């Protein structure tokens, strides 16, 4: 990996200015790679998950292609030098200032298994638009996709442009200790800390795209049925294995049963059956199935109110090649339970009831800052109130997760849900160095005004004139 990084860095230095044509060409090749191989990619993901909805994989590809196409269309505009104001009297004598967005050099991207294409190729849009070279490590938890993508990347790009490395946590650890010019990590907060520690040794700047428990607040005035439909539709994506998936819902006490009824009805309509239903995504592997089941078992044995949505009354015992489990609500469980503390990342949802809306903001503010925050209310004052009293990576009003599909919005967390952001122009800026360039005028004003040693009366006068409140 070290040798590869050196090769990429040498090529970067030899290239000098990275033209818009080169950047567009690289983006184009990434676009074709995803577009032309969409069926094989869908097959690989299906193999990794045991069952990954083909439609959901195509949605992942669509979202990622949008990132690449958005960057391709705008890269020329983004690259334009950004003129800045020079103060008087320097401006009068022709001094000029500008910001030039310069590629950082070689960027490392570490991706996850849940959306292996999106967590690597969506940042790639900003990385390539900014003119960088890049090394990508796909997650070992989705090996078929990782192998396929490594092959596709190798046949599409020279290894000095875009290269893939494969392996598990040890490779990840070695990868993140390479002296990259920027490291973009998507994954858990636990691993994110290791990555940031390793990057600190090289003073490599990091973008950390982490997860956490994203809350939903359903205000009393909301359209409860619409809220239930939108929340469960979002939760159904990848069976809740999404960083932005709703993790816990806060609903008024007196609306709890209505909410559950609407959510159960809609989930049954989306998935009349689960086990043989190709639309219902499997949990990624046995380890995660065991983890999720243990949350439910712990809640049941603690006497929590657990409601399973199993429309066809199927038996979720041993399954062949897949690890499905029904969507399940855990209502008003004790705070000490695992499901209340850990990111769920699966088809389970916590529901907490409230009497007063203030209880929701108090609860959210007493927990780590979430990646997403979802507000259901028809009242603008309530929406404003909830936005002003919480901090989260992003927020969505009257829906869940959709904000992340808007290319023109920055995508990223805050606090323990992440550091920095990418997407659109924000991605271009993240992976560029904003270099300040100042061009001096022919006249040496400093010397002419006596602002050079030996300082004397003229310098005193100038300073007395310019130092003002």
Supply the minimum distance, in Å, between the C-beta of residue 286 and ligand NAD: 14
66 included as an active-site residue: no
**Nearest residue (CB) to ligand NAD, 110 versus 206:** 110
**Nearest residue (CB) to ligand NAD, 111 versus 326:** 111
Name the residue among 173, 179, 186 with its Cα closest to residue 200: 179
Supply the minimum distance, in Å, between the C-beta of residue 113 and ligand NAD: 5
DSSP string, 57-70: HHHHHHHHHHHHHH
Cβ neighbours of 402 (radius 10 Å): 16
Supply the minimum distance, in Å, between the C-beta of residue 58 and ligand NAD: 18
**Nearest residue (CB) to ligand NAD, 181 versus 247:** 247
Distance CA 275, CA 468 (A): 75
**Nearest residue (CB) to ligand NAD, 4 versus 90:** 4
Name the residue among 141, 146, 147 with its Cα closest to residue 168: 141
DSSP-derived secondary structure letter, 196: H
Contacts of 183 (CB under 8 A, 6+ apart): 107, 108, 110, 176, 195, 199, 204, 205, 206, 207
Cβ neighbours of 4 (radius 10 Å): 17
Which residue's CB comes closest to ligand NAD? 211
**Nearest residue (CB) to ligand NAD, 4 versus 459:** 4
Q: For helices 20-36 and 54-79, what crossing angle results, to 10°?
A: 170
Task: Note whether 270 and 236 are within 8 A (CB).
Answer: yes
Q: Which of 209, 298, 343, 407 is catalytic?
A: 209
Taking the C-alpha atoms of 379, 380, 385 and 386 in order, what is their torsion angle to the nearest 10 degrees? 70
Supply the minimum distance, in Å, between the C-beta of residue 144 and ligand NAD: 15
**Nearest residue (CB) to ligand NAD, 12 versus 411:** 411
Distance CA 224, CA 265 (A): 13
DSSP-derived secondary structure letter, 369: P
Supply the minimum distance, in Å, between the C-beta of residue 136 and ligand NAD: 10
Task: Note whether 63 and 122 are within 8 A (CB).
Answer: yes
Supply the minimum distance, in Å, between the C-beta of residue 175 and ligand NAD: 6
Supply the minimum distance, in Å, between the C-beta of residue 169 and ligand NAD: 3
Residue 83 pairs in a beta bridge with 98
Distance CA 310, CA 296 (A): 15
**Nearest residue (CB) to ligand NAD, 252 versus 349:** 349
- Provide the CB-side half-sphere exposure for 77 (13 A, CA): 7
Supply the minimum distance, in Å, between the C-beta of residue 301 and ligand NAD: 26
DSSP string, 212-244: --EEEEE-TTS-HHHHHHHHHHHHHGGGG-STT
Residue 438 pairs in a beta bridge with 97
**Nearest residue (CB) to ligand NAD, 105 versus 413:** 413
**Nearest residue (CB) to ligand NAD, 214 versus 390:** 214
Task: Note whether 404 and 433 are within 8 A (CB).
Answer: no
Cβ neighbours of 55 (radius 10 Å): 11
* Binding residues for ligand NAD (CB under 6 A): 110-115, 119, 137, 139-141, 168-169, 172-173, 176, 186-188, 191, 194-195, 209-211, 243, 343, 345, 371, 413, 418
100 included as an active-site residue: no
Supply the minimum distance, in Å, between the C-beta of residue 174 and ligand NAD: 8
**b/e string for 12-47 if b means 16 or more Cβ within 10 A?**
beeeeebeeeebbebbebbbebbeebbeebbbbbbb
Q: Which of 164, 184, 243, 281 is catalytic?
A: 243
Sign of the alpha-carbon torsion through 24, 25, 31, 35: positive
Catalytic residues: 209, 243
């Amino acid at each position: 990996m070290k040798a590869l990084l050196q090769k990429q860095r040498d090529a970067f230095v030899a290239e000098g200015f990275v033209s818009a044509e080169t950047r567009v060409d690289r983006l184009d090749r990434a676009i074709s790679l995803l577009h032309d191989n969409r069926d094989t990619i869908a097959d690989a993901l299906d193999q990794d998950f045991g069952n990954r909805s083909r439609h959901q994989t195509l949605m992942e590809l669509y979202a990622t292609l949008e990132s690449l196409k958005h960057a391709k269309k705008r890269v020329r505009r983004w690259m334009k030098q950004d003129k800045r104001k020079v103060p008087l009297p320097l401006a009068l004598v022709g001094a000029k200032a500008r910001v030039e967005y310069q590629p950082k050099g070689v960027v490392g991207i570490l991706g996850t298994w849940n959306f292996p294409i999106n967590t690597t190729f969506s940042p790639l849009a900003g990385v390539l638009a900014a003119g960088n070279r890049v090394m990508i490590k796909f997650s070992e938890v989705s090996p078929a996709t990782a192998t396929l993508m490594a092959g596709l990347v190798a046949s599409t790009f020279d290894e000095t442009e875009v290269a893939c490395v494969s392996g598990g946590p040890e490779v990840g650890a070695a990868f993140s200790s390479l002296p990259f010019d920027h490291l973009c990590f998507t994954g858990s907060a636990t691993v994110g800390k290791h990555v940031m520690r390793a990057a600190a040794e090289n003073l490599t700047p990091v973008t950390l795209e982490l997860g956490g428990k994203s809350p939903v607040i359903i205000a009393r005035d909301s359209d409860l049925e619409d809220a239930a439909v939108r929340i469960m539709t979002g939760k159904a994506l990848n069976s809740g294995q999404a960083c932005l998936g709703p993790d816990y819902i806060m609903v008024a006490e007196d609306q709890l049963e209505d909410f559950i009824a609407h959510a159960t009805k809609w989930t049954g309509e989306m998935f009349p059956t689960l086990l043989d239903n190709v639309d219902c995504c499997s949990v990624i592997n046995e380890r995660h199935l065991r983890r999720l089941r243990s949350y439910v078992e712990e809640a049941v044995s603690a006497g929590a109110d657990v409601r399973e949505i199993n429309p066809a009354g199927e038996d979720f015992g041993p399954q062949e090649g897949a690890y499905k489990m029904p969507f399940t609500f855990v209502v008003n469980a004790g705070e000490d339970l695992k499901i209340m503390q850990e990111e769920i990342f699966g088809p389970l949802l916590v529901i907490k009831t409230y009497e007063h809306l203030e209880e929701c903001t108090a609860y959210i503010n007493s927990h780590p800052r979430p990646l997403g925050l979802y507000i259901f209310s028809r009242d603008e004052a309530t929406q404003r109130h909830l936005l002003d009293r919480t901090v989260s990576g992003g927020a969505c009003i009257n829906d869940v997760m959709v904000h992340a599909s808007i290319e023109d919005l920055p995508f990223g967390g805050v606090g323990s849900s992440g550091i920095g952001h990418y997407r659109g122009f924000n991605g271009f800026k993240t992976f560029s160095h904003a270099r300040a360039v100042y061009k001096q005028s022919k006249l040496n004003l400093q010397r002419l005004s006596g602002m050079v040693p030996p300082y004397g009366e003229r310098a005193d006068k100038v300073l007395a004139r310019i130092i003002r409140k």
